[in-house]
Amino acid sequence: MNHDIPVDQLGPQGEIMAHAIDACVHCGFCLPACPTYALLGDEMDSPRGRIFLMKEVLEGELPLFEASPHLDRCLGCMGCVTACPSGVPYGELITSFRGWSEPQRRRSAFDRAKRGAILKALPAPRLFSAAARLGQYAKPLSPLLPTSLKSPLDLLPEHVPAMLDLPRRTPAQGPQRARVALLAGCAQQALAPNFNAATLRVLARNGVEVIIPEGQGCCGAAAMHTGARGEALKLARTNLAAFEPDDYDAILSNAAGCGAGLREYPEVLRGLPEEAAARQLAAKVMDISTFLARLSEQGGLEPFMPAKKPLKIAYHDACHLAHAQAIRAEPRALLKLIPGVSVLEVPEGEICCGSAGTYNLEQPELAAQLGERKARNVLSTQPDMVASGNIGCHTQIQSHLRRQGSPVPIHHTVEILDLAYRGEL
């Protein structure tokens, strides 16, 4: 689409935004892929509408505060990117726009404090864990609290598990097939330490040596996507120093959002001295499911113990696997390797569950509507178990399954593989 964006005044991020806006032909093919359009039915809360709004703000034709409510409602799920035939890099556009616009926004003191707290606690697993424990005690008070405070409490599991000390190095069992680095993740370490434990066991059993490099931190995706660009740059630089791509066959993530976050480093660092290093790192980043699927194709995986009885697993596509990284077939193929397992497709599978990073804290009403809808769709397949590849979806779906009175368990894909190896499936 035509625009008059003053690209030269906006720097490398301006080029990213202008390129995305150029590419949009406003055909509307993105509308049915957008969760907020599905809920609200208006143009401003659709990807096409948001692209127009960003264009108008960048051109100086529309005050930022007029566009902000609609841009804030975008989950960043990238469903529109999958649906777009013109190849509009919407994710790069909205992330860059948020980074550009955040310093100009006037937020209330409460809002600032809340955002500050989230961005401080999320990248610090021990702090997050402590906060989660504290939250557990506050849970009974939840009905008395305003929605903005209630929603994080509602998402907490009944029991916040103890943190695990992760070994710096886990040796391969048997002949070594590969050497990888693992991004340990932040909130995931506090809320679901078993994701990493299961990952280490499954990789080791398949001849993979796993290093958890010291000095690594949060991938920065949450900061990046909420517009905290300074913070995002700091975190990206920390990880560039911690992960040395040449030392590993792959840099693995077992959280969809974090994997996609690492792969975005070249965009975040566009035009900065670290851009080349960021490209090198991003090229090595792989989701755990892709890595295991490749091992499976190249020489096979250690055989799984069959499930005790036929097991129907509903697979939930995390947006940052399916839309941001185009990973759909691999996790399904892995689950199907387990004898006795059948994989079910969830209706409206391409629509986000509403977790979306910090979305369920910042837009609790919409997040809850999407969570409720996702849980309903999942249960309509009558599964014995649910699989997903992202801690955010995991927490959100689990919480909404419970709210609908369902006892169906949800596990990370790699946890299910681990259970199968142990004969506990």
Partner 1 sequence: MNLFSRKRPEKLALNTNAPVTKPRSTDAPHSPLASELTRLLGPQKVLSGLGERLNYRYDAILVGETPLCVVLPESTQDVALAVKAAKAAGVPIVGRGAASGLSGGAAPLKESLVISFTRMTRLEIFPERREARAQAGVVTLAVSEAARPHGLVYPPDPASFRTSTIGGNLGENAGGPMCFKYGVSGDYVRAMQFVDVDGEVHELRRDAYDLAGLMIGSEGTLGFITEATLRLTPPPRFTRTLMSHFPEVGQAAEAVSQAIAAGAVPAKLEFMDKACTNAVEDYLHIGLPREAEAVLLVDTDGEDLATVEEELALVESACLAHGGTVRRAADDTESAALWRARRSISPALGRIRPQRMNEDIVVPRSVLAEVVREIRALGEASGFHLVQFGHIGDGNLHPNILFDPRRESAEQVHELAYQVALVALRHGGVLSGEHGIGAMKRSFMRDALDSVTLEALWNVKRALDSQERLNPGKVLPGDADLPHQDTHAHP
Nearer to partner 1, 48 or 320 (CB): 48
Instruction: For residue 63, state whether it binds partner 1 (rule: CB under 8 A).
Output: yes
* The only residue of 15, 29, 102, 166 in contact with partner 1, by rule CB under 8 A: 29
Nearest to 150 by CA among 121, 114, 109: 114
Matching residue, tokens 């008059």: 4
Nearer to partner 1, 12 or 32 (CB): 32
Cα–Cα distance for residue pair 52/49, rounded to 1 Å: 5
Q: How far is the CB of 25 from partner 1 (least distance, A)?
A: 3
Nearer to partner 1, 97 or 248 (CB): 97
Nearest to 320 by CA among 248, 264, 404: 264
Q: How far is the CB of 19 from partner 1 (least distance, A)?
A: 11
Give the contact letters, 78-117, x = binds to partner 1 (CB under 8 A), - = no.
------xxxx------------------------------
| Bridging pattern class, strands 285-287 and 250-253 | parallel
* The only residue of 5, 13, 36, 49 in contact with partner 1, by rule CB under 8 A: 49
Instruction: For residue 62, state whether it binds partner 1 (rule: CB under 8 A).
Output: yes
Q: How far is the CB of 42 from partner 1 (least distance, A)?
A: 6
| Bridging pattern class, strands 341-345 and 385-388 | unpaired
- Tokens, residue 358: 């910090």
Q: How far is the CB of 238 from partner 1 (least distance, A)?
A: 36
Instruction: For residue 22, state whether it binds partner 1 (rule: CB under 8 A).
Output: yes
Q: How close are the terminal C-alpha atoms of the chain, in Å? A: 53
Q: How far is the CB of 323 from partner 1 (least distance, A)?
A: 16
Nearest to 213 by CA among 188, 246, 257: 246
Nearest to 5 by CA among 54, 57, 58: 58
Q: How far is the CB of 88 from partner 1 (least distance, A)?
A: 9
The CA distances from residue 319 to 19, 33, 47, 68, 228, in Å, are 23, 12, 15, 23, 21
Contact 93, 17 (CB under 8 A): yes
Q: Can you give the binding site for partner 1, defined by CB under 8 A?
A: 1-2, 4, 22-29, 31-32, 41-44, 49, 52-53, 56, 61-63, 65-67, 69-70, 84-87
